[in-house]
Each structure stands twice: as structure tokens, then as C-alpha cells.
A and B are shown apart, each in its own frame.
Chain A
Amino acid sequence: MPLRSRRKVILWIALTVPLAPMTAQAQSLEVPTLAAASDLRFALEEVAEQFEKSTGQRLRLVFGSSGNFYSQILQGAPFHLFMSADEDFVFKLADAGKTVDRGRLYAHGRIGLMVPKGGPVRADGALADLAAALADGRLKKLAIASPDHAPYGMRAKEALQHAGLWQRIGPFLVVGENISQTAQFAISGSTQGGIIAYSLALAPQVARQGDFALIPESWHKPLAQRMVLMRNAPASARAFYDYLSTPAAQSIMVKYGFAMPNP
């Protein structure tokens, strides 16, 4: 390469490079970052869109498993609002002094059995056909979220225990890192189904690819979903926290199958 163009390359790198960290920092000052449980993926995107439309305030949404967010926040992850799929992770963060208070319940979730359309197992909320499929070999793989760090995985495990299937179904389980990955596994056609969140099953992208039946709520501990503001939360994060209890936000959540907590 001739010397002149070599200089050009170096000049180009020298000019563009310092801009990178600066632009990233400027954004993080204004726009609050939300860590949201994966069952909220479609519902919260819609709520956030409404919020952005009515206030002009932009939000950054990150979806994942509540347990992962819990350990990331302990490690110093810069989230401003944590919307967990359960209560325990929120209480543990509060006890660790990371949050402004003990937060607020924002929804109750449900789980159910999702099976791909035309698959060998029937969507049966009492899991009777799942048990039969396990016995007669129709079931090769069943997707659940991680029972170690994803609340929806923990509740799926309890439901399978209640149905007396947990011991036998072990070798057939495919474990998703979070509940939306689990839903993706459940309808991928590579499994015969999965235990996923009602809120995801109602999303059009998912609903058209499979059949879904709710598992009785009494079969597992409640999915009481709690959110909490972090100590470093800007006013814009608090505004969204408050927006979530408005009728406009709640009607979207209800549309996605969430039950609202009693005021």
C-alpha cells in the first residue's frame, strides 16, 4: 500500500474512533434502561411505544431472565428499572441496598402448554395428553425455561411436579435461557411443545404457529411480578414506573393475558 493511502487509513481511524464512547455515554444520560423479564417482550414493547408516543420520552428495553438480571445488577449493571417475573429477586436486591424501596406488584402471570400446530401432542392444560405422550413415546423433547434462574421455569417445574411428571420427564427437557427463548423452542418444530408464558402465547407471532392451553393456577406458586426502581434511576424511569399503573398501560397488559394486582 502506498504511503499516502496508508496515512489516509490512519487518519480515518483517528477521526472516527474517539466518537464512539462519547455518543454511547451521551445516550445513557437521558434514556432510562429497563431490564424486563422475557415474558414481557411483546406486551412491554407495546406499552413502551404508547409511553413514548404520549410523553416523547424514549426508553431502552433489555429482555432476559429475571435471575440473570438479578446477578447482573449485583455486578453493577446500569439498569434503572427492573421488572422481574417474580418477587424474590426484587426483595433480594432491596435487601442488598440496590433499590429505592421494595417496589410494586405490576402483574400476575400465567403459564400453559404450547404445542406446534399439527404436532403429535395435544394442547391440554391438565397435561393428561402430555403424560400419555411421555408414556407412548410421542414426546421426544419438551421445552421449559431454566428452573434455576428463570421464574417461569421454576413455575413450570412445580406444575410438572404437581402432575407427577417431573421425575420421568427429565431426559426429555430442553431448557431455555429465558421464557422467550423457551417459546421459540416450543414452536420451532424441533420439540413437541413447551411450557411457556400466557403473555407470549397471545402474541400474534407466536399464536399463529401453535396451540396453547392454560395450566391451572393452583398447580404452582403464583407468578406475582414485581418491579423496582434502582437507586440511580433518573426521573424518566420513575415516570414510566408510574405510567405502568395507568389504565392505558394496564389495558395493554390485560390484552396480553396478565391479571392486574389489586390496588
Chain B
Amino acid sequence: MDWQALSLSLELAAVTLLVLMPLGLWLGRWLAHTRFAGKSLIEAVVVLPLVLPPTVLGYYLLASLGGASPVGRWMQETFDVQLTFNFAGLLIASAVFNIPFMVQPVQRAFEAIPSNLAEAAAVSGLSPWQTFVRVELPLAWPGVLSAAVLTFVHTLGEFGVVLMMGGSIPGETKTIAISIYDRVQSFDLRGADEMALLLLLMSLTAVAASFFATARLVKTR
């Protein structure tokens, strides 16, 4: 068992969640409540990472953020920060490829809230922020929870993008999914077995727990 890779993956998943959650709530709610001409295009862009081959995403990220790109060079010269082959690079990649997993369930959850509820809250004297926290968020919570679980588990399992952007450096970019690949190549099938089983169980548990929580929340409401 590669504990270093496991803890790196857990860290990456947690930070990705922390970064994406505010963006996902804002964008999902905005898409749910707003109607305008180019909305379908924006929704298509949000879903794009879901249908794009991970290697394509990884390639574009590498090409646009790598040391040879204008952005990469500018970040390097101005802030002395590198955006590929390290944790920061993985975090950017992970945030991008999880956008659909975060935004879509949140958008669906906010869409399901009747608009007259927000109007009633406004009439009762609640500010927009209070309405969001006290009325909308409690109602949208199951959707937000499943978005968070999907994002977390999807980050643990992502392979293609990480392979392209990461460089498989132990403790820095060698996530558990990469470590499984590496174990197979070094003929350590037992190690690969253990980690694959662990990922399977973690994914199953997380998804089942979110379904369970959602079902319970819906019932008690």
C-alpha cells in the first residue's frame, strides 16, 4: 500500500472541494435562476470536461500552463511559481475537470426550488444573503452534498489528466491512481490489488453514503 500516494490523493480531493465549492454554488445557482441568450453555450462549456478525453484536457493544460507557454513563463518570472508537475498544477487540473461534477448537481438542486419561495422570503424582510443561507441552501442541500461527494471521489480516481500534468513524482504528483499504474509496471500486482480494492470501496461507500443521506433528507423534510 502506497500511503504517501493515498494521503496525497486525499489532500488533493479535499483542496479541490474547498476551491470548487464556492464557485460551484455561485455558478450553479446563477445558471438555475437566470435566462439569457447564450446560456446553452455556457452550460455546454461547463459540461465539456465530462465528455472531453482526459488526455485532451491534460494536453491543453500542459500546453497553456507549462514552462514553454506564455502564461507559464509569466508566472515563473513574476511570482516564481510553476504551474505544472507539482501540487499546484494538479489542483488547477483537478478544479477544471471537476467543474461539471460540481456545477451540474448544484444547478439541478437550485432549479427545483420554487421561485415563489424566494419571493416570499423577500416579502418577509429577508435580505438576499439571508434568503440564500436560510431558505435556498437548506432546500438545495442534497444536491450540494452529492456534488461534493462526486467531486471528491472523481478526484481520487482521475488518471489521464494527472498523468499528462503530473510527472508521477512521489509525494508531489504521484496520486493513488498513478501509483496503481506504477505498481503494475513494477510487477507488484499485490500492491496494485490492495490499492485498487481500497479505491473501489471508498468510491462505493462515498456514493452510497451520499444517496443514503439524500434519501433521508428528502424524507424528513
Our verdict on whether A and B bind, yes or no, reads yes
Task: Give residues in A with beta carbon < 8 Å to B.
Answer: 1, 13-14, 16-17, 19-21, 23-25, 27-28, 33, 38, 41-42, 60-64, 72, 74-79, 178, 180-181, 183-184, 203, 205-206
- Interchain CA distance A84-B87 in the complex, whole Å: 25
- Interchain CA distance A178-B181 in the complex, whole Å: 12
Interface: B131 (CB within 8 A): no
Question: By the criterion CB–CB under 8 Å, are A76 and B84 in contact?
Answer: yes
Question: With A21-B87, A63-B185, A78-B85 as given contacts, are A28 and B14 in contact (CB-CB < 8 Å)?
Answer: no
Please tell me which one of the listed residues A1, A16, A20, A41 contacts residue B186 in the complex, with CB atoms under 8 A apart: A41
Please tell me which one of the listed residues B82, B170, B188 contacts residue A76 in the complex, with CB atoms under 8 A apart: B82
Question: By the criterion CB–CB under 8 Å, are A33 and B187 in contact?
Answer: no
Question: By the criterion CB–CB under 8 Å, are A184 and B187 in contact?
Answer: yes
Please, which residue of chain A has its CB at the minimum distance from the CB of B167?
A77
Question: With A16-B14, A206-B187 as given contacts, are A76 and B172 in contact (CB-CB < 8 Å)?
Answer: no
Question: By the criterion CB–CB under 8 Å, are B88 and A76 in contact?
Answer: no
Q: How many residues of B contact A (CB 8 A)?
A: 35
- Interchain CA distance A101-B184 in the complex, whole Å: 35
Contacts of A41 in B (CB 8 A): 185-186
Please, which residue of chain B has its CB at the minimum distance from the CB of A14?
B18
Q: Considering residues B17, B141, B187, which has the most beta carbons from chain A within 10 angstroms of its beta carbon?
A: B187
Question: With A13-B17, A16-B14, A76-B72 as given contacts, are A184 and B185 in contact (CB-CB < 8 Å)?
Answer: yes
- Interchain CA distance A60-B82 in the complex, whole Å: 19
Question: With A16-B14, A17-B15, A20-B15 as given contacts, are A178 and B168 in contact (CB-CB < 8 Å)?
Answer: no
Question: By the criterion CB–CB under 8 Å, are B14 and A20 in contact?
Answer: yes
Question: By the criterion CB–CB under 8 Å, are B68 and A76 in contact?
Answer: yes
Min CB distance A240 to B, Å, is 16
Contacts of B82 in A (CB 8 A): 76, 78
Contacts of B18 in A (CB 8 A): 13-14, 17
Please, which residue of chain A has its CB at the minimum distance from the CB of B91?
A21
Please tell me which one of the listed residues A20, A62, A78 contacts residue B168 in the complex, with CB atoms under 8 A apart: A62
- Known pairs A23-B171, A60-B170, A206-B187; list 17 more (Cβ under 8 Å): A1-B217, A13-B14, A14-B18, A16-B14, A17-B11, A21-B87, A28-B86, A28-B172, A61-B170, A75-B62, A76-B66, A76-B82, A76-B84, A76-B85, A78-B82, A78-B167, A183-B187
Q: How many A-B residue pairs have CB under 8 A?
A: 95
Contacts of B182 in A (CB 8 A): 63
- Interchain CA distance A74-B185 in the complex, whole Å: 25
Question: By the criterion CB–CB under 8 Å, are B84 and A38 in contact?
Answer: no
Q: Give chain B interface residues in 1-50, CB to chain A under 8 Å.
A: 8, 11-12, 14-15, 17-18
Question: By the criterion CB–CB under 8 Å, are A74 and B88 in contact?
Answer: no
Question: By the criterion CB–CB under 8 Å, are A17 and B14 in contact?
Answer: yes
Contacts of B141 in A (CB 8 A): 1
- Interchain CA distance A28-B82 in the complex, whole Å: 13
Question: By the criterion CB–CB under 8 Å, are A60 and B169 in contact?
Answer: yes
Contacts of B185 in A (CB 8 A): 38, 41, 63, 178, 180-181, 184
Question: With A21-B87, A75-B66, A76-B66 as given contacts, are A33 and B169 in contact (CB-CB < 8 Å)?
Answer: yes
Question: By the criterion CB–CB under 8 Å, are A75 and B186 in contact?
Answer: no
Min CB distance A250 to B, Å, is 23
Contacts of B160 in A (CB 8 A): none
Q: Considering residues A76, A180, A181, which has the most beta carbons from chain B within 10 angstroms of its beta carbon?
A: A76
Q: Give chain B interface residues in 47-87, CB to chain A under 8 Å.
A: 62, 66-68, 72, 76, 82, 84-87
Contacts of B217 in A (CB 8 A): 1
- Interchain CA distance A52-B169 in the complex, whole Å: 18
Q: Give chain B interface residues in 147-197, CB to chain A under 8 Å.
A: 167-172, 174, 182, 184-188
- Interchain CA distance A74-B84 in the complex, whole Å: 12
Min CB distance A19 to B, Å, is 8
Question: By the criterion CB–CB under 8 Å, are B167 and A62 in contact?
Answer: yes
Please, which residue of chain B has its CB at the minimum distance from the CB of A209?
B187
Contacts of A38 in B (CB 8 A): 185
Min CB distance B180 to A, Å, is 13
Please, which residue of chain A has its CB at the minimum distance from the CB of B216?
A1
Min CB distance B110 to A, Å, is 18
Question: With A178-B185, A205-B187 as given contacts, are A72 and B170 in contact (CB-CB < 8 Å)?
Answer: no
Contacts of B188 in A (CB 8 A): 205
- Interchain CA distance A16-B68 in the complex, whole Å: 33
Question: By the criterion CB–CB under 8 Å, are B85 and A27 in contact?
Answer: no
- Interchain CA distance A78-B167 in the complex, whole Å: 9
